[in-house]
C-alpha cells in the first residue's frame, strides 16, 4: 500500500484521495494552513488519518513559530486545525495531545526543543496508529465468519488511517488468518469513498471485492450471503451510539432485521465518553454540490434544495460489538467501553489489593 500520509523535510506529504482512483498523486503541505485545507477538502480523510494529519499540522506549524508570542501562535495553529471538520473526535484528540505536551512538558523551553518534541510526538501518533490498527485486526479477525462475504460502508482502510485500516484491518487480518472471505463495498454516496477508495485499496491487496450501490445493501443482507458487516467510526458516545459515514445507520438496521452481526472497528481515540449519547455528536454538513453534481456534472435541476449531512448516528442497539485495539466491547457499552479504555493497572499498583 502507498503511504496515506508522511512526514518529510519538505512538509507533510499526503496521497490525494480526491483524485483516486483515476490518478495516484501526492500533495505536499508546506504549512499548517495547507494541512488544514487538505483536511477540509478531504485530500486526507477518515477519522484516524485526520488525527495524524492534525498532529503533523501542529508540529509543522511550530517549525515556523515567531520569536515572540509563541503561545498565541501555538493556539492559532491549534484553533485553525480544529476548525476543519467537526465530527471525527480523533481530530480533537490529536490536537489535545499536542497541547498537553506543549503546555505540560516544553512550555517556555527553547523553540528548538519545542519543535523537536512536537515533531517526535506527531511521528509517534503516526506509528502508534498503525500498531493500533493491527491490534484491532487481531481482535476482530475471529469475529468474521469463514466462507462468507463481509459488507462494509465508506472507507475505513489504510487510506483512512496511517496504515492497515480499522474495518479493512479486520478484513486483512481475517484473510491473513486463512479465512476464505470476500468483500462487498457500498459505493457510499455522495463522496463515493466505497467505490473510489475501498475497492481500489482492496484491489492493491488482491482481496476479492464487489461494488454495490448503497440501495442494494438490503437485498444482499437478506440473501444469506453476508456473514457480517464491519464499518469504522468517527465518534462513539458513552452509550455505544456510533457516528459514521451517512448511510451506516440504514445498513445497521437492515443487518439487524436479517440477523447479520454489525461490528464497528475503531481505536480507543475514537471514543468520546464525555458524550452520553449519539444525539450530542456534531454532524458535519457538506456542500450541496456534492449531492447535485457527480464529478462536476450536474444531475439535479437548478434550484434543488439539498441536505448533505456527512455522517449519521447508529444507535447502540444495532451494534453487536465495538472492536478496539484493547479488545471487543459488547453491550452494555456504558460498562464495557470505560472498562476497555481505562489504563490497565500496573502490576505494582494492583499488588496486594
Ligand atoms: O468523510 P470521511 O471520508 O472522512 O468519513 C470517513 C468515515 O466515515 C470512516 O468510516 C471513519 O472515519 C472511520 S475511518 C477508519
Q: Which pLDDT tens digit goes with each residue over 54-72?
A: 999 999 999 999 999 999 9
The pairing of beta strand 242-245 with beta strand 235-237: antiparallel
Window from 220-224, 234-238, 288-292, 345-349 with minimum mean pLDDT: 345-349
- 51 Cβ inside 6 Å of ligand 1: no
Mutate to test the pocket of ligand 1, among 47, 185, 311, 325 (most ligand atoms within 8 A of CB): 47
Whether 126 and 162 have beta carbons less than 8 Å apart is answered as: yes
- pLDDT value of residue 343: 81
| In the predicted structure, residue 1 carries a pLDDT above the cut 90 | no
Other CB atoms within a 10 A radius of the CB of residue 110 amount to: 9
Neighbour tally for 138: CB within 10 Å: 17
Locate 77 and state its grid cell: 495553529
Cβ-based burial of 37 (10 A; exposed 0-12, middle 13-18, buried ≥19): middle
Task: Note the pLDDT of residue 344.
Answer: 67
CA-to-CA separations, 138 to 34, 171, 293, in angstroms, rounded: 35, 10, 40
DSSP string, 7-50: EETTEEEEE-TTTTTT---EEEE-SHHHHHHHHHTTSS-SHHHH
**Distance between Cα 46 and ligand 1 center (Å):** 4
Q: How far is the CA of 92 from the centre of ligand 1 (A)?
A: 15
Nearest by Cα to 243 from 252, 251, 234? 234
- Looking at per-residue pLDDT, the higher value among 121 and 295 belongs to 121
For ligand 1, pick from 43, 50, 234, 236 the residue to mutate: most ligand atoms within 8 Å of CB.
234
Cβ of 233 below 6 Å from ligand 1: yes
The pLDDT of residue 345: 58
Ligand 1 atom at minimal distance to the Cα of residue 244: 8
For the question of residue 3 being annotated catalytic, the response is no
- CA 165 to ligand 1: nearest atom: 15
Predicted TM-score (pTM) of this structure: 0.96
- Cβ density class 4-21: b for 16+ within 10 Å, e for less: bbbbeeebbbbbbbbebe
Q: Mean pLDDT in the chain?
A: 96
Ligand 1 pocket, residue 286 CB under 6 Å? no
CB distance 2 to 114 below 8 Å: no
Index of the ligand 1 atom closest to the CA of residue 266: 15
**DSSP assignment string, 189-230:** TTTTIIIIIIHHHHHHTT--EEEE-GGGHHHHHHHT-EEEEE
Question: Model confidence at 2, in pLDDT bands (50, 70, 90)?
Answer: confident
Q: Is 310 in the pocket of ligand 1 (CB under 6 A)?
A: yes
For ligand 1, mutation pick of 214, 245, 248 (most atoms within 8 Å of CB): 245
Would the pLDDT of 350 be above 90? no
**Terminal C-alpha separation, the chain:** 47
Of 214, 234, 241, 312, the catalytic one is 234
β-sheet bridge partners, residue 285 = 309
**Cis (ω within 30 of 0) for the bond into 268?**
no
- Establish whether residue 88 lines the binding site of ligand 1, counting it when its CB lies within 6 angstroms of any ligand atom: yes
Residue with cell 517556555: 108
Are β-strands 11-15 and 5-8 bridged in parallel, bridged antiparallel, or unpaired? antiparallel
Cα 284 to averaged position of ligand 1 atoms, centre (Å): 12
Amino acid at each position: 500500500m502507498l503511504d496515506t500520509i508522511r512526514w518529510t523535510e519538505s512538509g507533510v506529504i499526503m496521497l490525494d484521495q480526491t483524485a483516486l482512483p483515476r490518478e495516484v498523486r501526492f500533495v505536499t503541505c508546506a504549512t499548517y494552513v495547507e494541512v488544514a485545507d487538505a483536511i477540509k477538502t478531504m485530500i486526507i480523510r477518515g477519522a484516524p488519518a485526520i488525527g495524524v494529519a492534525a498532529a503533523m499540522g501542529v508540529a509543522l506549524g511550530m517549525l515556523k513559530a515567531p520569536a515572540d508570542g509563541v503561545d498565541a501562535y501555538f493556539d492559532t495553529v491549534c484553533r485553525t486545525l480544529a476548525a476543519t471538520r467537526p465530527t471525527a473526535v480523533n481530530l480533537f484528540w490529536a490536537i489535545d495531545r499536542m497541547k498537553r505536551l506543549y503546555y505540560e512538558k516544553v512550555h517556555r523551553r527553547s523553540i528548538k526543543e519545542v519543535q523537536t518534541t512536537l515533531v517526535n510526538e506527531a511521528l509517534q501518533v503516526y506509528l502508534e496508529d498503525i500498531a493500533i490498527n493491527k491490534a484491532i485486526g487481531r481482535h476482530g479477525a475471529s469475529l468474521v465468519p469463514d466462507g462468507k462475504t463481509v459488507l462494509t460502508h465508506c472507507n475505513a482502510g489504510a487510506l483512512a488511517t496511517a496504515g492497515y485500516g480499522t474495518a479493512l484491518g479486520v478484513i486483512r487480518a481475517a484473510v491473513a488468518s486463512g479465512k476464505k472471505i470476500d468483500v462487498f463495498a457500498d459505493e457510499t454516496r455522495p463522496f463515493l469513498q466505497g467505490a473510489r477508495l475501498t475497492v481500489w485499496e482492496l484491489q492493491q491487496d488482491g482481496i476479492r471485492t464487489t461494488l454495490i450501490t448503497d440501495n442494494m445493501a438490503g437485498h444482499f443482507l437478506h440473501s444469506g450471503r453476508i456473514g457480517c458487516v464491519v464499518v469504522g467510526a468517527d465518534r462513539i458516545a458513552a452509550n455505544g451510539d456510533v457516528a459514521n459515514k451517512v448511510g451506516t445507520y440504514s445498513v445497521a438496521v437492515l443487518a439487524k432485521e436479517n440477523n447479520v452481526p454489525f461490528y464497528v472497528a475503531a481505536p480507543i481515540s475514537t471514543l468520546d465518553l464525555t458524550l452520553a449519547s449519539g444525539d450530542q455528536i456534531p454532524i458535519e454538513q457538506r456542500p450541496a454540490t456534492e449531492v447535485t453534481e457527480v464529478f462536476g456534472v450536474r444531475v439535479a435541476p437548478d434550484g434543488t434544495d439539498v441536505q448533505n449531512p456527512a455522517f449519521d448516528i447508529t444507535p447502540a442497539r444495532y451494534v453487536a460489538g465495538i472492536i478496539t485495539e484493547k479488545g471487543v466491547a459488547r453491550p452494555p457499552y456504558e460498562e464495557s467501553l470505560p472498562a476497555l479504555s481505562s489504563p490497565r493497572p500496573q502490576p505494582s499498583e494492583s499488588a496486594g489489593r
